[in-house]
Structure 1
Amino acid sequence: MTPDLECSALTKRFDQSLAVDDVSFSVPPGSFFSILGPSGCGKTTIMRMIAGFLPPTSGDIRIKGKSVLDVPPNKRPVNMVFQHLALFPMMNIADNIGYGLRRKGMAKTEITRKVGEVLDRIGLPDIANRKVDELSGGQKQRVAIARCMVLEPDVLLLDEPLGALDLKLREHMKIELKALQAAFDTTFVYITHDQSEALVMSDQIAVMNAGRFEQIGTAQELYYRPDTAFVAGFVGDSNRWAGKVETVEGGTLALRTDGGLLMRATAHDRTLATGDRAEIFVRPEAIRLARSDADLAHFDNRLSGQVTSLLFNGAASRILVQSTQGGPEIEVTLPQSGEFSDVGRGDAVHIGWSGDQSNCFALDGAA
């Protein structure tokens, strides 16, 4: 099957700065693909090259198998939704959505029909005559998407479109966007620095750092099986310790942390050897709480400590535990029921986790 979008060896330089470094990826038809990364990593540059606003220094961009490098932005079969939606306040909603169709010279009756159809598909059939300032933030977001989708693009590009919304509306719009993408059955390419947006909505996610893709995979693959230390640290929350590898046996290693703790973990970097510097990452939800060390005998990593803080966030509440053996505080997901549902600051606890639930990578910059 021909991908809706395919970028090959895409590179962009600005003078001496390398913004995008030899990036290749493809997006299957009808899928939701996100590029996730910190500010300045190059994700917006990629999107602007796809849209035609920036020429690549080298590489190719193909939409439905055809190169678009020589196609101007207004002729490419893509549309773009920006963070600032740029709806026209002097026009009603029908005129906003039909603006691109009028620019194409379409007949008025056909424009009315198409605008009506797309309003039905975004679930707002009765707002055609309303003004932009009469809409809620979520409604404006759907209208901005409708204005793009009425032109029937092969690919819709979304440049952090939820960034200007308040937290509760952003959470709602994650679900809305995924539902709209499925309703239109159009390929969405979405860029964001917000991992929650990417994890919730995407079929595939590319994690980007310093101009390159660190890993492309599903949300589950990135979260549970990161390929690099950057992905392990950037996607989701993790406790992390740096130290020196003491032993390596098969796919398991023992690492002595800089604070003196001995930990066992899966060696995702199979080049790690005794004496190497490395980092261990452990998810807060992978750590179990107990009242005694004996209750954790089946775990190969066990520590005792004291609760220093309760981080209440409903079902996602966590505690911070200071180990009696020292080192940084350890973040642990708090069970919602049972003997630890009322745990408080100063309580003595034991914690444990399995080595196969830890990720270990060579420490960046290590010899």
Structure 2
Amino acid sequence: MTPDLECLNLVKRFGDTTAVDTVSFDVPRGSFFSILGPSGCGKTTIMRMIAGFLEPTSGDIQIRGRSVLNTPPNKRPVNMVFQHLALFPMMTIAENIGYGLRRKGMPRDEIARKVDEALERIGLPGIGNRKVDELSGGQKQRVAIARCMVLEPDVLLLDEPLGALDLKLRERMKVELKALQAAFDTTFIYITHDQSEALVMSDQIAVMNNGRFEQIGSGQDLYYRPASAFVAGFVGDTNRWSGQVTRIEGDEMEIRTDSGLLLRGASHGRPLSAGDSAQIFVRPEAIRIAHDTEELSHFDNRMTGRVASLLFNGAASRIIVQDPDGREEIEVNLPQSGEFAGLKRGAEVHIGWSGAQGNCFAAGVR
């Protein structure tokens, strides 16, 4: 089946600055596809090119197999939800949702039917006569999406639409947006710098850095099998060490960190050799905490240290463990059983983790 969206070798330059550098990807029909990256990486530039607000310096953009280059934004089968929604405060909800249909000259009774259907699908039936300022933040989000979806675009673009919401509402809207995408069965292209948003909602995620895609994959691919040091450090929380490879056995290796720790890990990306500078990444949840060293005897990496800080966050609580010489601080998730809930600052703890949980990459490699 032809993808809903295909971008081929996209390049966008602004003078001497290359904002997007030879990016290619395709998005299957009915997918939730996110572009995740830090501010200034080029993700919004890609969205603006898809929407038609910018033309690429080179490359092609195809929607359902047809190039849309040189096609003005209002003629492309796409629509866009902005961060600040841009709802019209002087109009009712029904008038907001039906605005684009009126511009197309659709008969009034047909507009009313489509608006009512849209309100049903977003879970807000019967509010068509209300004003925008009578709605909650989450309801406004749904109305903004309905206003786009009544136009039946092939692709809906969403430019950080949750950025202006408070934390609790943002968490709830992650679930609601995914449900809305499934309800409309429309391809969503979602731009964000928030990894949690991308991981929760997306079928596929492209991690972007300095104008290029570092990796495209599912949330699990990016989290557990990062293809680069940037992805390993950007997606999810992690402990990171720099050092030098001292020994290699197949895919496993030993790295002496700059602070003198000797750690075992597994190589990813470009092959490494003894003597190479390297980085090793270990997730806080991969590290086991125990009452004594015997419980950790099967781990490649073991350490006794003291609790430097306690970071209470309910089920996601952590401690920061300082090694005996004060060279490193390591974040460790506390088990949800509550077994270690009574730990105090300065308490001695034993930690360990498998070498297979350590993702190793050459230092300085993208």
What TM-score does the superposition give when structure 1 sets the normalisation length? 0.98
Q: Does residue 1:53 correspond to 2:74, yes or no? A: no
Query: Which portions of structure 1, spanning 4 or more consecutive aligned residues, are displaced by more than 6 angstroms?
Result: none
Q: List gaps (5 residues or longer) in structure 1.
A: none
2:77 alignment counterpart: 77
Letter in 2 for 1:125: P
CA contact (8 A) 1:39 1:193 kept: yes
1:105 alignment counterpart: 105
**Residues 133-186 of structure 1, C-alpha deviation per residue, up to 9 Å, x if partnerless?**
000000000000000000000000000000000000000000000000000000
CA contact (8 A) 1:32 1:203 kept: yes
**Residues 69-99 of structure 1, C-alpha deviation per residue, up to 9 Å, x if partnerless?**
0211000000000001100001000000000
Moved more, 157-166 or 328-337: 328-337
CA RMSD of aligned residues (A): 1.0
2:256 alignment counterpart: 256
Moved more, 184-193 or 341-350: 341-350
State the SS of the aligned residue for 1:49: helix
Mark the CA change 1:13 to 1:270 in structure 2 (over 3 Å): closer, same or farther: closer
**Residues 229-270 of structure 1, C-alpha deviation per residue, up to 9 Å, x if partnerless?**
000000000000000000111000100000101000001134
2:364 alignment counterpart: 364
CA distance in 1, matches of 2:350, 2:130: 60
CA distance in 2, matches of 1:144, 1:338: 43
CA distance in 1, matches of 2:270, 2:12: 32
CA distance in 1, matches of 2:170, 2:270: 40
2:205 alignment counterpart: 205
Letter in 2 for 1:189: I
State the SS of the aligned residue for 2:278: strand
Please list, as runs of the form range in 1=range in 2, the aligned pairs for 1:1-367 lying within 5 A after superposition: 1-337=1-337, 339-364=339-364
| Deviation for aligned residue 1:336 | 2.2
State the SS of the aligned residue for 1:199: helix
Report the identity percentage.
76
CA contact (8 A) 2:245 2:273 kept: yes
| Deviation for aligned residue 1:271 | 1.8
CA distance in 1, matches of 2:77, 2:164: 27
Moved more, 286-295 or 88-97: 286-295
CA contact (8 A) 1:251 1:270 kept: no
Mark the CA change 1:338 to 1:118 in structure 2 (over 3 Å): closer, same or farther: closer
What TM-score does the superposition give when structure 2 sets the normalisation length? 0.99
| Deviation for aligned residue 1:339 | 3.3
Moved more, 311-320 or 324-333: 324-333
State the SS of the aligned residue for 1:158: strand
CA distance in 2, matches of 1:319, 1:209: 30
CA contact (8 A) 2:51 2:79 kept: yes
Letter in 2 for 1:133: D
CA contact (8 A) 1:261 1:325 kept: no
State the SS of the aligned residue for 1:256: strand
Q: List gaps (5 residues or longer) in structure 2.
A: none
